[in-house]
């Protein structure tokens, strides 16, 4: 993807033109001067670390041996891996510099930047997932949820990519525990290989088995769970203007729809007002369909994982199969559609939604459908 493929170090020199990177990517320049904890980052600010991490990546034989498209994708990931630090960096009461939450913030920011840049959905989500989990290999063996994380990464990206990102990250620092962290990364690779999820998606006996493993991680991942589902709920996910109503009309016209927009209109609740009454009404209507054993569509933006999980958890409790349909359109197309509406959606409202946009992944449902609508 441009401009990353143009900036990525390439044979025979494998050199990094950092001046060109800074010129092409404004968000790289914004990393300059962002402080870091000097214990783990004695090299200086976030931009300096990012440059050093990119240089370290370019020196790794395993990265050089990858196909060109994979090299570019990993290069973009290293460039973006700390993009969330500027928004998260603070000094605590003792004057120490912290950046708690920068991995999650970085995932959200990278998704937005790559969406605005026109990146392919799968490519973008691969990068975003690696950024979200880029610190996991450092402390992997101390995490009680390691298996769940490793399986999730394998389904949305690749764990060997995550290990390469982590290696570039630690080699792009000046700190005293580099050797120890590299050992931890090697152990993480071994763990993933043993779990059959290092360079490929972790396999499950069925979609139903995968769905219930991630809802109950103490389950045996190889257990062929009996599929006792009795209905299917299509959970829509997408920004306003992404085409959810159009898609439902074309593909689910025969099913009842739990529509938050319709409920807002019926209850007289504006989109800018508290939505508690609307959400409660939607759940009550969904329960009616679930008790009756009726398949239906749940039509809302459902942009955050937490919000989707409230829908999915209710459906699962009634032995429902879950399909999440995620729709999106380029920013310009989205804005044009919203401006043409009888009641245009304010740009500020869409901006708030974009900031918390978490893309659905295979750990959340029996099936995920990704649909990009480039048409205006």
For the chain, where do the domains classified as CATH 1.10.3210 start and end? 4-194
Instruction: Give the three-state DSSP class for 86.
Output: helix
The strand pairing partners of 320, in sequence order, are 231
- Residue 57 in contact with residue 164, Cβ under 8 Å? yes
How many Cβ atoms are within 10 Å of 19's Cβ, its own excluded?
8
> Helix, strand, coil % (nearest 5) of the chain?
55, 10, 40
Distance, CA of 91 to CA of 233 (rounded, Å): 46
For residue 143 the two structure tokens come to 């995490």
Tell me, what's the pLDDT at 375? 55
Is-contact 298 236, C-beta < 8 A? yes
pLDDT at 180: 94
Total count of residues recorded for the chain: 376
- Rg of the chain's alpha carbons, rounded to an integer? 22
**Quick check: 109 and 51 in contact, CB under 8 A?**
no
CATH 3.40.50.300 in the chain is located at 231-372
| CA–CA gap between residue 81 and residue 98 (Å, rounded) | 16
| Residue 75: partners with Cβ closer than 8 Å, 6 or more residues away | 4, 7, 8, 9, 54, 57, 58
Give the architecture (CATH level 2) of 4-194. Orthogonal Bundle (1.10)
Contact 272, 213 (CB under 8 A): no
The CATH H-level (homologous superfamily) assignment of domain 231-372 is: P-loop containing nucleotide triphosphate hydrolases (3.40.50.300)
pTM of the model: 0.95
The DSSP code for 263 is H
pLDDT under 70 in the chain at which residues? 374-376
CA distances from 32 to 22, 80, 104, 113, 202 (A): 10, 14, 20, 18, 39
Q: How far is CA 58 from CA 53, 167, 342, in A?
A: 9, 11, 52
> What single-letter DSSP state applies at residue 201?
P
Q: Tell me, what's the pLDDT at 374?
A: 60
Q: Are 316 and 366 in contact (CB under 8 A)?
A: no
Q: What is the pLDDT of residue 272?
A: 73
**90-91 and 97-98: which strand pairing?**
antiparallel
Q: What's residue 49's pLDDT? A: 97
For residue 154, what pLDDT is reported? 98
- Put residue 324 in one of left, alpha, beta given phi > 0 → left and psi -120 to 50 → alpha: beta
Q: Which residues contact 236 (CB under 8 A, 6 or more apart)?
A: 244, 247, 248, 297, 298, 299, 300, 302, 324, 325, 327
99 phi and psi angles, rounded to 5 deg = -140, 45
d(CA 45, CA 250): 51
Q: How far apart are CA 72 and CA 119, in angstroms?
A: 12
With a CB cutoff of 8 Å and minimum separation 6, the contacts of 347 are 335
């Amino acid at each position: 993807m441009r401009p990353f493929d143009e900036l990525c170090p390439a044979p025979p020199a494998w050199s990094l033109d950092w001046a060109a990177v800074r010129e092409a990517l404004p968000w790289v320049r914004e990393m300059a001067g962002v402080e870091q904890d000097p214990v783990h980052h004695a090299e200086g600010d976030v931009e300096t670390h990012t440059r050093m991490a990119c240089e370290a990546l370019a020196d790794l034989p395993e990265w050089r041996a990858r196909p060109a498209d994979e090299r570019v994708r990993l290069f973009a990931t290293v460039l973006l891996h700390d993009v969330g630090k500027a928004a998260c960096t603070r000094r605590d009461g003792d004057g120490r510099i912290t950046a708690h939450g920068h991995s999650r913030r970085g995932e959200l920011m990278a998704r937005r930047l790559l969406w605005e840049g026109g990146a392919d959905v799968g490519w973008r989500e691969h990068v975003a997932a690696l950024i979200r989990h880029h610190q996991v290999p450092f402390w992997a063996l101390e995490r009680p949820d390691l298996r769940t994380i490793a399986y999730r990464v394998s389904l949305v990206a690749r764990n060997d990519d995550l290990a390469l990102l982590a290696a570039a990250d630690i080699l792009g620092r000046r700190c005293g525990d580099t050797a120890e962290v590299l050992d931890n990364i090697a152990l993480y690779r071994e763990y993933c290989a043993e779990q059959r999820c290092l360079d490929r998606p972790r396999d499950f006996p069925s979609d139903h088995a995968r769905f219930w493993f991630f809802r109950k991680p103490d389950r045996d991942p190889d257990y062929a769970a009996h599929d006792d589902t009795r209905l299917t709920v299509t959970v829509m996910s997408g920004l306003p203007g992404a085409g959810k109503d159009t898609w439902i009309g074309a593909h689910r016209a025969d099913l009842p729809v739990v529509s938050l927009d319709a409920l807002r209109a019926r209850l007289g609740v504006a989109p800018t007002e508290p939505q508690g009454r609307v959400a409660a009404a939607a759940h009550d209507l969904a329960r009616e369909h679930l008790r009756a054993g009726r398949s239906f569509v749940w039509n809302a933006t459902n942009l955050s994982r937490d919000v989707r999980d409230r829908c999915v958890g209710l459906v699962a409790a009634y032995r429902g199969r879950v399909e999440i349909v995620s729709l999106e359109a380029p920013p310009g197309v989205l804005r044009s559609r919203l401006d043409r509406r009888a009641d245009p959606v304010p740009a500020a409202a869409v901006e708030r939604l974009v900031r918390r946009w978490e893309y659905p992944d295979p750990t959340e449902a029996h099936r995920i459908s990704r649909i990009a609508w480039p048409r205006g």
